[in-house]
Amino acid sequence: MGHEIVRVADRLADIRYRGHQELEEDLPYSPRLPSLLRKARILFDHENIGAKLIERASQRFRQGPPPVSINEQIRMKAECFHWLGKARDLADKPATAQYLLSIFFDDVGQRIFPTTRLLADRAG
């Protein structure tokens, strides 16, 4: 797997080199990979493997993320109230409250966009 960022005129091109087997394994589980592949451009496609992957990613993108169970929704809502309540209790200590909120937002971001083997999709 490789990665490089190349400047083309006034734009940056984010180039990633990955094997098709790795992409096939990640595609069903990665929430970001379908949208990234939707924007991908194939430079060389041996045996039409890349085009097939792009089509599978497009189908998965159109399906959207899997629905969250009611139990997970309830648990996440309770956890949100817990963290927001802690921050509100520390209103007289804004730096501490801000720190707690930053931890909370990082945690929420990780749950929405779980870490995958995929590198960040933005250059710069």
pLDDT in tens, 11-56: 887 777 777 788 788 777 776 677 777 777 777 788 888 888 888 8
Task: Evaluate whether residue 119 is within a structural domain.
Answer: no
Q: Among residues of the chain, what percentage have pLDDT more than 90? A: 4
- Distance between CA 29 and CA 66 in Å, rounded? 10
Q: Are residues 37 and 14 in the same domain?
A: yes
Hey, what are 30's tokens? 């990665």
pLDDT band at 100 (very low <50, low <70, confident <90, very high): confident
- How many domains would you assign to the chain? 2
Q: Are residues 31 and 84 in the same domain?
A: no
- Cα dihedral across residues 34, 35, 38, 41: positive or negative: negative
pLDDT at 1 (0 to 100): 62
For residue 77, give its domain range. Answer: 70-112
Task: Evaluate whether residue 117 is within a structural domain.
Answer: no
Task: Evaluate whether residue 57 is within a structural domain.
Answer: yes
Report the length, in residues, of the chain: 124
Q: Are residues 18 and 56 in the same domain?
A: yes
H-helix or E-strand spanning residue 2? strand 2-8
Task: Evaluate whether residue 46 is within a structural domain.
Answer: yes
Neighbouring residues of 53: CB distance < 8 A, sequence distance ≥ 6: 20, 23, 24, 27, 37
Residue 120: closest CA among 10, 7, 12? 12
pTM value?
A: 0.42
Q: Are residues 35 and 17 in the same domain?
A: yes
Task: Evaluate whether residue 29 is within a structural domain.
Answer: yes
